[in-house]
Amino acid sequence: MDKQIEKLLNDQVKFEADASMQYLAMASWADENGYNGIADFFYKQSEEERLHMTKLVKFINERSGKVLIPQLDKPKSDYSSINELFEAFLASEMFVTQQVNHVIHECLQHKDYNVHNFMQWYVTEQLEEEATARTLLDKLNIIGSDKSGHYLFDRDINQITAVTPEE
Ligand code: FEO
């Protein structure tokens, strides 16, 4: 495997792992503050990001590359509101999308069509996750600071996220 592509894939391992830990911290914050629906949502997101990370680790090994399990950034653990929480969620997903696009761009430069093909799964995944984050943030912007609105949002979050943008 091209050394530069290998490094980019290892960077991506870290970004996915950072997202997993960030969402775990978000879940824990939500749990602590009585938002059980939001906590469940982020516990699940954290698990998903862990799978994204593992998929990369396995792929690098299959291609006889060298995996470097990274040291992670300390996740942010305090939020002033659930609006801030979901703004951070969208920002995190947008960052990951940007990095996925960067890997794909470099694959084309290096003519590594195998990795390029593998990364398409992440493109689709990011589209879905960004759409979910935007949908949730749109709802929160409608609700504003209304406490009963937050109560209903927390209660209904799984139904909101079950609706895909195509539906
Ligand atoms: Fe796997 Fe949503 O980053």
Q: Could you tell me if the CB of 60 is within 6 A of ligand 1?
A: no
CA of 19 to the centre of ligand 1 (A): 7
pTM above 0.85, yes or no: yes
* pLDDT score at 105: 97
Q: Could you tell me if the CB of 93 is within 6 A of ligand 1?
A: yes
Quick check: 58 and 114 in contact, CB under 8 A? no
Q: What is the mean pLDDT of residues 1-15?
A: 96
Q: Is the pLDDT of residue 161 over 90?
A: no
* pLDDT score at 83: 95
- Three-state secondary-structure class, residue 20: helix
Quick check: 126 and 97 in contact, CB under 8 A? yes
Task: Enumerate residues 6+ apart whose C-beta is below 8 A from 33.
Answer: none
Ligand 1 atom at shortest distance from the alpha carbon of 129: 2
Among candidates 114, 139, 84, 140, which has minimal Cα distance to 2? Answer: 114
d(CA 2, CA 51): 24
* pLDDT score at 160: 81
The pLDDT tens digits of the residues spanning 20-48 come to 999 999 999 999 999 999 999 999 999 99
CA of 60 to the centre of ligand 1 (A): 18
**Helices (DSSP H) in the chain: which residue ranges?**
3-32, 36-62, 82-109, 113-143, 147-162
The pLDDT tens digits of the residues spanning 125-158 come to 999 999 999 999 999 999 998 999 999 999 999 8
Residue listed under structure tokens 């938002």: 35
Quick check: 125 and 100 in contact, CB under 8 A? no
* pLDDT score at 167: 42
Ligand 1 atom at shortest distance from the alpha carbon of 45: 2
* pLDDT score at 163: 55
The pLDDT tens digits of the residues spanning 47-84 come to 999 999 999 999 999 999 999 999 998 999 999 999 99
